[in-house]
Structure 1
Amino acid sequence: MKKKKIAWVTDSTAYLTQDLLDHPDVYHLPIVIMFEDQVYEDGVDLTTEELYKRLREEKNIPKTSQPSVGKFAELYDKIKEEYDCAIAIHISSKLSGTLDSSVAGKDMAHFDVEVVDSHSISYAITTLLKKGIELEKQGVDVKEIANRLREETKNSVNYILLGNLDQFYKGGRMNGAQFLLGSVLQIKPIIQITKNGEIELFEKVRSEKKAINRIIELLKQSYREHNIKQVQIMHGNTLEKAEELSNKIKEHLPNIDIVIGDISSSIAVHAGEGTLGLIWHKEKE
């Protein structure tokens, strides 16, 4: 049997659209979510609904862990029977050890894998996967595809309104001063994942309404300056707010395509219920 050319690999922090879920060459490994009494695999034996229920009911915030090196090695051992090589696109290496596990796993399996650091999370990874698959259809060489995707990471933009400051702080993603400022003064921080894949405080705003208006302004400015075809609204169990944000964007930018989706359980552990994220990609003309 002739081997297929490229397998596509990612992790469960990516938002997998139906076409990617149905794609025969796309594989993903779940992030591990650890409560004190149980260990779950994101999206496999723990749904987002179950996670939010537990987060509301329990005092202790769960921890997350990357898929093990062994899990990656097992996956690469399996797919090397069918494919010549793979391209793996993962959550920012500054936010998780997943990329390191993937690299170690492919070395154990002795399989040719181009590992790409998305420098981001969620739909930003989705965009890279879709662009890579399109380049493969055009007959572009695997190393060239990987290099182009690494360049494309610089064109991703995101702004995030956290649903739960307390959760974010206890998860070690925010320092004490920032947490105190946000909690005591009722500041709504806008955070973002920078181009090198780190979380930073972008701006402090007085209310959620003002924060939403601010990120819409940032989108409008980017839309004027760049070629933006689509914006993604990712939410933490707050579909109504996501739809309200979508409607507000449509008032200003009626021609832009809008996708609404859930953040994964492994992201929700840190960001919290009620989180809203706005993501878009600056396309080349």
Structure 2
Amino acid sequence: MRIVTDSGTDLGLSSEQLNELNISVAPLVVTLEGKSYREGLDITPEEFYPLLEASKQLPITSQPSVGAFAEVYKSVAANDPDILSIHMSSGLSGTLNSAQAAAKLVPEANITHIDTKTLSAAAGWQVKAAAAAAKAGWAKDQILALLKRISDASDSIYTLKELKYLIHGGRISHLTGTIASLLDIKPMIGVEKKGGTYIQLGRVRTFNKAMEGLVDLIARQHPEGSALRIQVLHAFNPEGASKLHDLIDARFKCTWLPGGPMSLVLGAHTGPSMVGIAFAPEGVFAEIP
């Protein structure tokens, strides 16, 4: 069994690691000032954000095309027709729809699609768990049950300094976003599990208070000192991510996964200041091979 995903799941793996785990990644696309870039192939976060800040235009993003997914499926099916195709939330992207349409063009493949109902690091946890279990010879039903347990236990929350990117991308109410911008309010945003869409979890006046608020949100779900799996990612704000890391580390017993830049296509919707957290009880991952 092989794994297919999209670059919005933020795996943080090298090409060699992807090959070892039998994971194929379809790149999301960002367009800025009329030029389109495939994530991970044509542009890096270090190249993208300076262009974004210098641009007078806001970016446009798109999921991998049906044709691009079909090519991935055909290539993978040539080695193994059984495929788990695991993707960022259908509530935030058309990526899953594109993948499902592509599957109809590759009848030789036996493709099971999975909606993670989240994105970035938390979605990547599901992808990597599925790959490890498949490599260990688990049956598909066992893998799907594992992914549901991880999904149910995992959460994603984030904050940012400016709202114009979320407003432009349609991920937040234009009216609410405009008012918040005028008042210089910093929102705390999460991903709800039913539809996999963004929800506002609070708002404060300063970015530092917003980062503290994110840690308070974790503490509402898990008592201080709990053993948690934590991953902090950012758009293009390593200083903010480092401070957030320290705030979390002071209050919980953390198993830290590597931090760093998130998917630049996701960052195109938040702007460069965004910092976010994926978290879950560490015990949920104990059974992964």
TM-score normalised to structure 2 length: 0.89
CA shift in 2, pair 1:20/1:220, >3 Å: farther
Query: Runs of 4+ in structure 1 displaced over 4 angstroms?
Result: 225-228
**C-alpha contact (below 8 Å) 2:225/2:252 kept by paired residues:** no
| Paired residues of 1:228 and 1:280 also in contact (CA < 8 A) | no
Instruction: Give ranges in structure 2 of 5+ residues lacking alignment.
Output: none
> Which residue matches 1:222?
221
In the TM superposition, residue 226 of structure 1 has moved relative to its aligned partner by 10
The amino acid across from 1:112 in the alignment is N
Q: Match for residue 261 of structure 2?
A: 262
What amino acid maps onto 2:176 in structure 1? Q
Unpaired runs of at least 5, structure 1: 1-5
- For the residues of structure 1 that align with 2:186 and 2:216, how far apart are their CA atoms? 16
1:151 Cα deviation (Å)? Answer: 4.7
After TM superposition, the structure 1 = structure 2 runs for residues 42-53 of structure 1, keeping only pairs within 5 Å, are: 42-53=39-50
Q: Calculate the aligned-residue CA RMSD, in Å.
A: 2.1
Q: Which residue of 121, 124, 127 maps to 1:126?
A: 124
The change in CA–CA distance for 1:258 and 1:144 in structure 2 (over 3 A counts) is closer
Give CA deviations for 1:63-106 in whole Å, capped at 9, x if unaligned.
Answer: 11111111111111111110131111111011111111111112
Counterparts of 1:60 and 1:104, CA distance in 2: 31
By how many angstroms is 1:254 displaced?
4.7
Q: Which range moved further: 79-88 or 162-171?
A: 162-171
**2:256 counterpart letter in structure 1:** D
- In the alignment of these two chains, the number of paired residues is 280
The separation in 1 between residues aligned to 2:139 and 2:41, in whole angstroms, is 33
| Alpha-carbon spacing, 1:226–1:212, altered in 2? closer, same or farther (3 Å) | same
TM-score (norm 1): 0.91
Secondary structure of the structure 1 residue equivalent to 2:259 = strand
The answer to whether the 8 A contact 1:163-1:275 is kept is yes
The alpha-carbon deviation at position 42 of structure 1 amounts to: 1.2
What pairs up with 1:148-159 in 2 under 5 angstroms? 148-159=146-157
1:21-170 superposed matches below 5 A: 22-24=17-19, 25-110=22-107, 111-170=109-168
* Cα distance in 1 between the residues matched to 2:153 and 2:226: 11
Cα deviation for residue 37 of structure 1 reads: 2.1
Aligned with 1:139: secondary structure? coil
Aligned to 1:186: 184
Could you say if the C-alpha distance between residues 69 and 62 of structure 1 is closer, same or farther in structure 2, counting changes exceeding 3 Å?
same
1:43–1:265 CA contact under 8 A, matched in 2: no
SS at match of 2:71: helix
Once the two structures are superposed, the pairs formed by residues 1-20 of structure 1 within 5 Å of their partners are 6-18=1-13
**Shift in Å, 1:227:** 6.5
Q: In the alignment, does 2:252 pair up with 1:253?
A: yes
State the distance in 1 between where 2:133 and 2:40 align. 28
Alignment partner of 1:13: what SS? Answer: helix
1:57 shift after superposition: 1.1
Equivalent residues of 2:161, 2:207 under 8 A apart: no
| Counterpart-to-counterpart distance in 2, 1:20 and 1:152 | 25
